[in-house]
Amino acid sequence: MKLISWNVNGLRAVLKKDFAASFAALNADVFCVQETKCQPGEADFEPEGYTSYFYSAEKKGYSGTACWSRVQPLSVTYGIGVEEHSHEGRAITLEFENFYLVNVYVPNAQEGLARIDYRMRWEDDLRAYLLALDAKKPVVLCGDLNVAHNEIDLKNPGPNRGNAGFSDQERAKMTELLAAGFADTFREKYPDLTGAYSWWSYRFNARKNNAGWRIDYFVVSRRLMDKVKVAAIHPEIFGSDHCPVELELDL
């Protein structure tokens, strides 16, 4: 089963940049996107053979997640069961026979870590949600997790230490999640690979110079790791400041 995750940074914007062609070329069984920035019906994209699931933020032009699946899920859940986190369209869970797929757009801690307290509550509540699912069947978590976990996961760790996405607090929460029984599939496959990033600033020719961050992930229940055939990043695919990431499971 092939899964794709991509922060499109505006679905309407990326549809003008060959998104349909990229979608077709990636040929996923389930295609998850984050930061749709649109309400239902505002973006016209209904690929043949797929059913779409949208979860939009109450605030227009902000946040939002969506999934297209050509496998019929057993159930679909929006949010993570906590009212505080139910206004920004940040999580969709598709239940399949052998696993849960949780597509998330994790809140950004923002400049000066202005939103770090909220981010910490989100992290704890998301981890509790994932563990409750994991008690029933294995979990695949995908999306823009808005954290570069270790120094290998960004080009310039020194100057960015303490900034949003590379603060000690956010990194510690990622460590806590993995310690709770989950695995970062890409890093498990490529523990020492440098220069592998999924997001680049639009400034300073960052993408051209590959001065990026790896903040888009597939994280799985550790007992699924032996089913992981492919964990990949697709920097060759343009259209957003992020690129797609891939997971292929042999189920």
| Strands (DSSP E) found in 145-200 | 182-184, 199-200
Contact in structure between 247 and 218 (CB atoms under 8 Å): yes
Is 216 annotated in a binding site? The answer is no
Q: What is d(CA 217, CA 19) in angstroms, rounded to the nearest whole number?
A: 20
Q: Which of 55, 85, 144, 184 is catalytic?
A: 144
Is 108 annotated in a binding site? The answer is no
Q: Which of 50, 105, 129, 197 is catalytic?
A: 105
Instruction: Give catalytic status of residue 149 as yes or no.
Output: no
Is 250 annotated in a binding site? The answer is no
Is 241 annotated in a binding site? The answer is yes
Instruction: Give catalytic status of residue 105 as yes or no.
Output: yes
Contact in structure between 156 and 200 (CB atoms under 8 Å): no
Instruction: Give catalytic status of residue 242 as yes or no.
Output: yes
Q: What is d(CA 236, CA 215) in angstroms, rounded to the nearest whole number?
A: 17
Is 144 annotated in a binding site? The answer is yes
Angle between helix 116-134 and 168-179 (nearest 10): 10
> Residue-wise over 175-199: b if at least 16 C-beta within 10 A, else e?
eebbeeebbbbbbeeeeeeeebbbb
The answer for 208, left when phi > 0, alpha when psi is -120 to 50, beta otherwise, is: alpha
Is 7 annotated in a binding site? The answer is yes
Straight-line distance from the first to the last Cα atom of the chain, in angstroms, rounded to the nearest whole number: 7
Residues shown for the chain: 251
Could you give the residue numbers annotated as active site? Answer: 105, 144, 242
Binding site per annotation, positions? 7, 35, 144, 146, 241-242
Q: Which residues are annotated as a binding site for Mg(2+)?
A: 7, 35, 144, 146, 241-242
